[in-house]
Amino acid sequence: MLRFELLGGFQVVARGRPAGRMLTTRQQQLLAYLALHRAAPVPRQQIAGRFWPDSTDAQSLTNLRRELHHLRHALPEVEPILVIGSRRLAWKTANAFDLDVVEFEHAVDEGLRGERALLERAVALYRGDLLPDCDDEWIRPERERLQRRFGESLVALIAKLEDDRALGDAIDYAQRLLNVDPLNETTWRTLMRCHGKRGERATALHVYQQCASVLKRELGVQPGPETRLVYRELLEDAESEAAPPPPPPRTLTYPLVGRQTEWTALVQTWQAAASGQGRMLILRGEAGIGKTRLAEELIDWATAKRLRSATTRCFAGEGRLAYAPIAAWLRAPSMQPALRGLDAVWLSEIARLYPELLQGRQDVAPPEAHLESWQRPRFFEALAHAFVSASPLLLVVDDLQWCDSDTLEWLHFFFRWSEGLRVLVVGTVRSEEESDNPALSVLVRDLARLERLSVLSVGRLDEQATGRLAEAVAERSLEGRDLARVFRQTEGHPLFIVETGRMDLVSGDAPADTLPPRVQAVVAARLVQLSPDARSVAEAAAVVGRDFTFSVLAHVSDLEEDPIVRALDELWQRQVIRVQEGDRWDFSHDRIREVAYDRIGPARRRLLHRRVAQALEQLFAAGLDEVSASIAAHFEQAGQLARAIHHFERAAAVAVRVSANEEAIRCLGRALALVEQMPEDRDRVQQELRLRSALQGPLTAARGYAATDVEGNLVRVAALAARGRGRVPVQWLWSLWTLRFVQGDLRSAEALSSDALALAEDDPSSTCEAHHALAATLMSMGRLEDSHRHFEVAIAAYDEERPQRSALGSDLGVFSHAWHSHALWLLGRSDQAGAHAEHAITLADRLNHPYNRALAHAYASLTHQLRGDVPSVRRSAETAIALCDRHGFAYYGDWARILLGWADCQEQRLSEGIRLMEEGLDNLVRQRALARRPYYLSLLSGAYTTSGRRDRAVELVDEALALTESHNDVWWSAELCRLKGELLPDLAEASFRRALETAGAQGSRALELRAAISLGRLLRRRGDEGLALGLLAPLVAAATTANPQDLSQAEALLAS
């Protein structure tokens, strides 16, 4: 039987599995309309008029016929139970399907008669509003009616639970009711009482403060006497219960004044984004200038218009988590309906940041434990799908200058990912700290280039706006002289205005010289007015961070619970702190936290940081991963180096699991900096080795494996490993070999590969690795037969049923077959070379690993170029480039660009071909990758020769020959000598003979044949036919498996 679920979003379930994934939004709404009107047939005219009110009758009926036709194909299960008549639509029976709305209403009806279990079932069935994504007029009355019924059931259930002393459940349901009706003071009082009965006085205090803030913001009123009385009963001791209920403090939110220009720009930017011009908007200005206030106003405006929005904040310091802002956005209530309807494939990736999504979703597979760098684009794409599915959407992130680089990288991806985005991301940025985050500077520059960025500078208020804000803070009118003095002393800075107002310094009775000149002094003066307990709690909270919970604060403070509760109340009354969701408080502005923190002496500061770290360890014992970076930062500030290192290392491992390489680098870098402060002994060596070994992976992924910092870390790892064990393990020798080879340092590469081979004699598991390294090195050094032998050993040691990866992630079987193909071609075995290149591709495809597929196709493109197969070069090069661009692999993509440029030149697209080759060569130089550069330069030389620029072609050949001598990269030197002879007739014979001699010494049948062809042609032109025949005949006989094109040329020369 089919089941339709309409509460919280549309879903069809058939035989226990989700169905109807291909239904359009209109088809979903049509099914919902029919399901809600299941009791009687519905006229076609009625449906058409509801769904297409702006169309003519004929057109709307045509639209309905079209949707019904597509519906029957998209959801064939509906056809047996839906009667589609010429005039009416009806279900065969009212019970032809299950409907969650019917079940919900039945449970409410029965539950209101006193059945608690049925009330709980009703609440569980109400997963959200009726079709929340539908804005049509026809659904609103039914949606509002069901909302009221849900509220009734919650009120009854909460009362029942409180009577039954099931206080925890009552609290959960009361929180849910407040999400629906946040202005219901009865529910706020119930929530306060339940927390009080459980002994959670601090939480009850927090609830009252939330209530007061909501009522002031939404209605401009304070809580009623009954609510204030409950609050006082919870706060005061028995002897003071008779005291009159206190009024709430002045609001933390004042009217938005003097910002009409900025507000208009904000709304216009949103409207453009919502229409498909998605973009990022930066609110830039100094601290305290009102950036956050503008962003909060936009969120409130969006909420009032029932637009989806989510907001989060970044924090200063070393305790941030990779992708923390994105995770916070995903958890926003407004995102949940969209996430529920997302495909399971994407949810599996999103669960890396939001694991709670897996609960109750049998169809969603848990993500792999480790996210490799090549999997990152898919992870990024899943996140993009999540936010696009909720569009039009407003995302706000406060204090973007402190954002982690991985979140910024995702934002860069998001705005490049799709045209027509209906998402606006608003970030507030402190102008004085923006340049401290290089990743943010890159994002701003690139989004500006893509025309996906708007920047709004927020400045100080003028005199009139200053006066209006000052009067709002004072809650009374001010005389002209007082207004003039406020503007003169605050210079229109909103934070100055608010803070001085809270000190009552705007009073005409206050002497003019009592106002400190800087906001820090203003805040410090306000903190001095606090009671000793309140100051102590403020200092402890400042150490925890801008955002804190009572549970952590209770572990940190010197005070008992009751004095802490009273101190928090005082801080709230004086507006030093404000309430946040989830039993959290934060400072009303980060400048206040900074001043409170600066007042703490060094010794006490270290003590408090240690307590915070220990509290987090204890409170998050079951989930240390999410707070490990914060714990590490606090232990570092406490001077507890060993424990800080441990948690930084753990935080790095967490970052690596989601491929947050920059965050992993940062955490491990902090840990290594702390290791350097420890005494030099064996333990320190082992600790540094462990940390640097962990650092190599993310460092290589983020920087490329020939970068300076990658090299420095790898060299240090090898030195530490040798010190600890007396020798460097093969895996690190292989990594060092890769580095040196790519840099073009073949002499060092040979030494490293020889050392690896010596160690492999005692470690058979590294046989493939060691022989592969030595084979590749020997090939580049022109020792082709030796290279061929070692490649064969490497391939024989590789078991395709149990693939073996190198330390850098490349599969050694793919690598060995791919590289062996080059050696085979040089030896004159062209067909075998092609077969090995294709086998490498087949093996990489079987492994389904993008990095190895890119590697295999890059190597194959070179093999096909050697064989002169232009279409195959193009096919492999384009595949490699596509893989590298998608997954962020720089090296092989640039290699393939050079080969693709060569293919373009062969097809007479010279300008484009030369551009691609030069681009690839330049990119490789920037990566410090000089391997094979003589070969690449020869291809570019050939392109310039074809284009008529022989002088440039000669320069490139000379540069290539110089590199072969300086780097000992001689495998292509015979061909370079031959090309020089073709370019310079005066040097032709000497160059051809040198090419012939070099190729013969290396055993390169393929290049020897090419050199002989060029020399033979020269001899024939000179009339020395006998010499030409004597030269070519034996070589042709010995090179029967060489390149077919070269053999054809040689045979034609012999026959002429």
Query: What pLDDT is stored for residue 517 in this prediction?
Result: 45
> Are residues 777 and 819 located together in one domain of the fold?
no
- Residue 762 inside a domain? The answer is yes
> Are residues 878 and 790 located together in one domain of the fold?
no
| Greater model confidence, 377 or 995 | 995
| 64 in Cβ contact with 34 (< 8 Å) | no
Give the single-character DSSP code of 356: G
Confidence at 240, pLDDT banded by 50, 70, 90: very low
Confidence at 318, pLDDT banded by 50, 70, 90: low
Query: What pLDDT is stored for residue 724 in this prediction?
Result: 62
CATH code at position 967:
1.25.40.10
The DSSP secondary structure of 111-136, one letter per residue, reads: HTTT-HHHHHHHHHH--SSBSTT---
Confidence at 857, pLDDT banded by 50, 70, 90: very high
- Give residue-wise pLDDT tens across range 406-429: 999 999 999 988 888 999 999 999
Confidence at 504, pLDDT banded by 50, 70, 90: low
Q: Which residue range(s) make up the domain with 1027?
A: 932-1055
Half-sphere exposure of 842 (CA within 13 A, CB side): 8
Mean pLDDT along residues 323-351: 91
| Peptide linkage before 392 cis (omega within 30 of 0) | yes
Three-state DSSP state, 43: strand
Three-state DSSP state, 313: strand
Confidence at 722, pLDDT banded by 50, 70, 90: confident
CATH code at position 25:
1.10.10.10
Mean pLDDT along residues 148-165: 90
> Which residue, chain included where needed, has tokens 């973007």?
400
| 1045 in Cβ contact with 906 (< 8 Å) | no
Confidence at 238, pLDDT banded by 50, 70, 90: very low
621 pLDDT above the threshold of 80: yes
Retrieve residue 96's tokens: 């032809």
- Residue 216 inside a domain? The answer is no
Alpha helices in 278-360 (DSSP H): 291-304, 324-330, 336-340, 344-350
| Greater model confidence, 668 or 547 | 668
Confidence at 1006, pLDDT banded by 50, 70, 90: very high
Retrieve residue 235's tokens: 């706060």
Look at residues 756, 772, 805 and tell me which one is the last residue of a structural domain.
Answer: 805
Length of the chain: 1056
Give dist(CA 389, CA 372) in Å, integer.
26
> Are residues 943 and 912 located together in one domain of the fold?
no
Query: What pLDDT is stored for residue 21 in this prediction?
Result: 64
Query: What pLDDT is stored for residue 213 in this prediction?
Result: 84
Retrieve residue 307's tokens: 């637009």
Q: Among 976, 977, 974, which Cα is nearest to 1001's?
A: 974
Burial state string for 197-221 with b = 16 or more CB within 10 A and e = fewer than 16: eeebbbbbbbbbbbbbbbbbeeeee
549 pLDDT above the threshold of 50: yes
> Are residues 845 and 959 located together in one domain of the fold?
no
Give dist(CA 1011, CA 1019) in Å, integer.
12
Give dist(CA 62, CA 576) in Å, integer.
63
> Are residues 26 and 98 located together in one domain of the fold?
yes
249 pLDDT above the threshold of 60: no
> Are residues 439 and 300 located together in one domain of the fold?
yes
Look at residues 780, 805, 830 and tell me which one is the last residue of a structural domain.
Answer: 805
Is residue 581 classed exposed, middle or buried when 0-12, 13-18 and 19+ CB atoms within 10 A define those classes? Answer: exposed
Query: What pLDDT is stored for residue 980 in this prediction?
Result: 97
Range with the largest mean pLDDT of 136-140, 330-334, 624-628, 955-959: 955-959
- Residue 119 inside a domain? The answer is yes
CA 361 to chain centre: 24
Query: What pLDDT is stored for residue 698 in this prediction?
Result: 85
17 pLDDT above the threshold of 90: no
> Are residues 280 and 404 located together in one domain of the fold?
yes
Is residue 850 classed exposed, middle or buried when 0-12, 13-18 and 19+ CB atoms within 10 A define those classes? Answer: buried
Range with the largest mean pLDDT of 253-257, 642-646, 723-727: 642-646
Look at residues 764, 784, 805 and tell me which one is the last residue of a structural domain.
Answer: 805
Query: What pLDDT is stored for residue 502 in this prediction?
Result: 67
- In Å, how far are 7, 32, 177, 644 from 128, measured between CA atoms? 5, 15, 12, 44
Query: What pLDDT is stored for residue 319 in this prediction?
Result: 55
> Are residues 1008 and 894 located together in one domain of the fold?
no
- Residue 192 inside a domain? The answer is no
What's the chain's average pLDDT?
Answer: 88
Give dist(CA 696, CA 717) in Å, integer.
9
> Of 246-250, 387-391, 934-938, which gets the smallest average pLDDT?
246-250
Half-sphere exposure of 493 (CA within 13 A, CB side): 17
Q: Among 409, 399, 402, 415, which Cα is nearest to 442's?
A: 409
Confidence at 884, pLDDT banded by 50, 70, 90: confident
Most distant pair of Cα atoms in the chain: their distance: 125
Mean pLDDT along residues 1026-1048: 88
| Greater model confidence, 507 or 826 | 826
> Of 482-486, 740-744, 1001-1005, which gets the smallest average pLDDT?
482-486
Three-state DSSP state, 246: coil
CATH code at position 324:
3.40.50.300
Q: Which residues partner with 309 through β-bridges?
A: 394
774 pLDDT above the threshold of 90: yes
Mean pLDDT along residues 684-700: 89
How many domains does the chain divide into? 6
| 204 in Cβ contact with 190 (< 8 Å) | no
| 596 in Cβ contact with 539 (< 8 Å) | yes
- Give residue-wise pLDDT tens across range 116-142: 899 999 999 998 899 988 888 899 999
- For the CA atoms of 604, 610, 616, 617, the dihedral, rounded to the nearest 10 degrees, stands at -160
- Residue 521 inside a domain? The answer is no
- Give residue-wise pLDDT tens across range 380-406: 999 999 999 999 999 999 999 999 989
Three-state DSSP state, 679: coil
* Element housing 548 (H / E): strand 547-549
> Of 124-128, 542-546, 693-697, 725-729, which gets the smallest average pLDDT?
725-729
> Are residues 451 and 486 located together in one domain of the fold?
no
- Residue 338 inside a domain? The answer is yes
- Residue 824 inside a domain? The answer is yes
> Are residues 868 and 939 located together in one domain of the fold?
no
- Give residue-wise pLDDT tens across range 790-831: 999 999 999 988 988 887 778 999 999 999 999 999 999 999
- Residue 945 inside a domain? The answer is yes
| Greater model confidence, 306 or 153 | 153
- In Å, how far are 6, 195, 578, 579 from 205, measured between CA atoms? 38, 9, 12, 10
Query: What pLDDT is stored for residue 233 in this prediction?
Result: 82
Retrieve residue 638's tokens: 């406490």
Three-state DSSP state, 582: coil
> Are residues 381 and 308 located together in one domain of the fold?
yes
**For 8, left (φ over 0), alpha (ψ -120 to 50), or beta?**
left
> Are residues 917 and 863 located together in one domain of the fold?
yes
